[in-house]
Amino acid sequence: MVFQSPEKILDHIVATRAAFDKKEAGSREALIDYSRALIASLEIPSEFVQRTFWAEPAQSAIIRMAVDVKLFQYLQEAGTEGLSPSDLSQKTGVDVTLLQRLARHLVAMNVLTFHDGVFLATTLSNGLATENYQQSICFCYDASRPSFNAFPGHFRQNGYKSPALSGTDGPFQTAHATELPFFDWLVATPPHLEHFGSFMASYRHGKPDWHEFYPVKERMIEGFDLSSNETLLVDVGGGRGHDVVTFVVRHKSHPGKVVLQDREPVIASVNVGATGQIFEAQAHDFFTPQPIQGARAYFLHSILHDWGDDESIKIIENIVPALKKGYSRVLFNEIVVNDENPTLAATSMDMMMLAHLNVRERTESEWRNLLAEGGLQVIKIHTYPGVAESVIEAELA
């Protein structure tokens, strides 16, 4: 976003108000972006430093403590009556003087409110009280934050070079004093794997799914040839099936089969019968040739962003021989970073990838070059207002 004066940003906010009142897609996110831009245009350096290095780190530390003492849950249960400092202290076990100081900072940061002598929950704090977000907070504070704190020392030591793609020499390894790759470390250090799973489940909560803005009917269902192949959609590396379930629920009358693929241990944990047999499950490693030939669409959700270019090309090359020219499509549900107007959601995830996996989110030109090297050409990049991830639609070159 080009830097603008406060007056200009306020004009944008006023203009966006009408769209927000009409609940237009992307208007809420636009208001948040403009609000951040407004703060940046108004803050003086001393205020910026205080907020960035005092207020926000303290807020995240207090919220992490709140998970341990169930602070948000107690306030949620209290409802509109709230809890006095002494009552909240008794419930949480936190000394009343310390609790007042900690909770007061959350009031200043608009996480809680305080009125008539009682602390009160907010819509935000009630959302944070749910189990998925409680575990997400633990993951972000215990696993991710140390990795970001390691940036200065790690990159100073390695001469400010991009980390190698081995997955074992990045800020994460420096921060946690380990030689293990990120995912191996999660498995070896419970309960981090469980917390990471909750974080991933919460990451896109409240955002439209890919098939809500990709034209499924026009680009996938129309032209489907049952006589050529009975498979409509293959979800490659789809985990336990979140995407295929939401796809089938939304497109109940779809023709053909929907197939979920992942590694054997993952597929073994999927109870297809519990889903009413709405999709099939197949063990498959995407570093081996794709076994389903000539399907209408092959879908990969946030797969390639976990890998460097060499590995990503191998994944693509294992799909290419299965494609039917002019018919099969490959759909990559991925972040496409905009050079001129990068979104906070895109750059935050890019920093996550840099910190933990030594890889990166890609720009449009990088995506086009990568897919071309693997034998594909981009047909169109489908986007939706306020959604970080796009759908990159590709076919055989």
Give the chain's domain count. Answer: 3
Same domain? For 276 and 260 the reply is: yes
Q: What's the confidence (pLDDT) of residue 2? A: 65
Q: Do 198 and 299 fall within a single domain?
A: no
Query: Has residue 13 been placed in a domain?
Result: no
Secondary structure class of 377 (helix, strand, coil): strand
Answer whether residue 24 is part of any domain.
Answer: no
pLDDT at 353: 94
Say which residue, 234 or 205, is predicted with more confidence.
Answer: 234
Taking the C-alpha atoms of residue 44 and residue 189, their distance in angstroms, rounded to an integer, is: 42
180 with 199, same domain? yes
pLDDT of residue 198: 87
- What does the pLDDT read at residue 229? 85
From 80, 108, 129, the end of a domain falls on: 129
Question: Degrees (nearest 5) of the Cα angle 200, 201, 207?
Answer: 105
Task: For residues 358 and 236, state if they share a domain.
Answer: yes
Confidence (pLDDT) at 240: 83
**What is the rounded distance in angstroms from the CA atom of residue 186 to the CA atom of residue 196?**
8
- What whole-number percentage of the chain has pLDDT above 90? 85
User: What's this model's pTM, rounded to 2 decimal places?
Assistant: 0.89
pLDDT in tens, 289-317: 999 999 999 999 999 998 989 999 999 99
Asked which of 170, 185, 204 is the last residue of a domain, the reply is 204
Whether 321 shows a pLDDT value over 70: the answer reads yes
Q: Residue 195 corresponds to which amino acid?
A: H
What mean pLDDT is reported for the chain? 94
pLDDT of residue 165: 67
Q: Tens of pLDDT along 270-282? A: 876 655 578 999 9
Q: Are residues 224 and 304 in the same domain?
A: yes
- Pair 222, 331 in one domain: yes
What is the DSSP-derived secondary structure letter of residue 83? B
How many residues in total does the chain contain? 397
Residues 362 and 307 in one domain: yes
> What CATH number did the domain enclosing 68 receive?
1.10.10.10
121 and 149 fall within a common domain: no
pLDDT of residue 201: 80
Residue 386 has pLDDT above 80, yes or no: yes
pLDDT digit string, tens, across residues 111-137: 999 999 999 999 999 999 999 999 999
Q: Indicate the residue among 86, 111, 129 that finishes a domain.
A: 129
At 318 the pLDDT is: 98
Across 35-60, average pLDDT: 97
Q: What is the rounded (10 degree) CA torsion for 230, 333, 133, 195?
A: 80
Active-site residue, 305 included = yes
Q: What domain range includes position 148?
A: 131-204
Q: Evaluate whether residue 170 is within a structural domain.
A: yes
Q: Say which range, 134-143, 195-204, 341-350, has the weakest mean pLDDT.
A: 195-204
CATH number at residue 348: 3.40.50.150
Note whether residue 252 is domain-resident. yes
Question: Residue 148 pLDDT > 60, yes or no?
Answer: yes
Are residue 112 and residue 136 in the same domain, yes or no? no
227/327 Cα distance (integer angstroms): 13
Q: What is the pLDDT of residue 381?
A: 98
What confidence tens digit (pLDDT) does each residue in 230-253 have?
999 999 999 888 899 999 999 988
Residue 111 lies in a domain: yes
Q: What is the pLDDT of residue 278?
A: 86
Position 266 pLDDT exceeds 90: no
Identify whether 36 is part of a domain. Answer: no
- pLDDT-based confidence at 288, cuts 50/70/90? very high
Do 186 and 89 lie in one domain? The reply is no
Is the pLDDT at 206 greater than 90? The verdict is no
Percent of the chain exceeding pLDDT 70 equals 98
Contacts 24+ apart (CB under 8 A), 228-231: 228/294, 228/324, 228/327, 229/256, 229/292, 229/293, 229/294, 229/295, 229/296, 229/324, 230/256, 230/257, 231/256, 231/257, 231/258, 231/259, 231/292, 231/294, 231/295, 231/296
Residue 351 belongs to some domain of the structure = yes
> Do 108 and 179 belong to one domain?
no
Q: Are residues 138 and 239 in the same domain?
A: no
In a domain, 15, yes or no: no
Low-confidence winner among 51-55, 67-71, 266-270, 357-361 (lowest mean pLDDT): 266-270
Question: Based on C-alpha coordinates, what's the Rg of the chain?
Answer: 24
> Which candidate in 176, 305, 356, 382 is catalytic?
305
